[in-house]
Copies of this chain bind each other. A is one copy, B any other.
Amino acid sequence: MARSRKSDPEHALQAAISMFWKSGYAAVGTRQIEDEAGITRFTLQTSYGGKMALFLMAVDRYLDMFETVAPPVEPDTLDALADWFTFFLAPPVMPECMAYGCFLLNTLIEFGGASSEVNQRASRYYRLLGGRFELALEHLKRLGQLPGDFDVRQGAQLLQSSTIGLNVLIRAANSSEAGRPSIDACRSMIHGWARS
């Protein structure tokens, strides 16, 4: 009854993620999407709902991926938590894009709080980053790996801020390697929490 699609939606979405991740929303044109994602501008409108809709799909998919590599909620040791930061140096997913920092953080800065659609995604991101750090630290405190008077909220906040800064450093330098000093510093801080 209907003609089958020529383009692969999954490949198109992955290409969209790569483009927007690297260049941001405004800097990617619909002609470029045609070329790299393999969909026509017509299809972009009819099947995806336009450039912004595709962009939000890309962000959502990115967050889905991030969910699988977000900080562990129940690490057994401080070391297991500290090890999470080393993932930046050997990313298990989309390693070719990691040099562009965090897609969602880049997006947050580009839109600067002006888009409610983006802001909603930001909430989800914060839950996955700061929220998980908090759960992890609470878990470690329960295990006795952290002092009884350790402030979990502030510890999580610190890890979140540092992770965000780390991603900015990586994007600015176009290299995950640029994050190494920050990563080492974070790991030291976490290990330092054990004593006292």
Contact = CB atoms under 8 A, between A and B. Distances in A.
A113 B174 CA distance: 6
Interface in A50-66: none
A164 B166 CA distance: 8
Contacts of A90: none
Interface in A156-178: 157-158, 160-166, 168-169, 171-174
A162 B110 CA distance: 20
Interface string A145-160: 0000001011101101
Interface stretch (A41-49, A71-79, A188-196): A188-196
A136 to B, nearest CB: 16
A118 to B, nearest CB: 9
Interface size range of chain A in the complex = 35 or more
A161 B173 contact: no
A57 B194 CA distance: 47
9 contacts: A108-B171, A113-B172, A154-B189, A158-B162, A160-B182, A161-B164, A161-B169, A164-B168, A165-B165
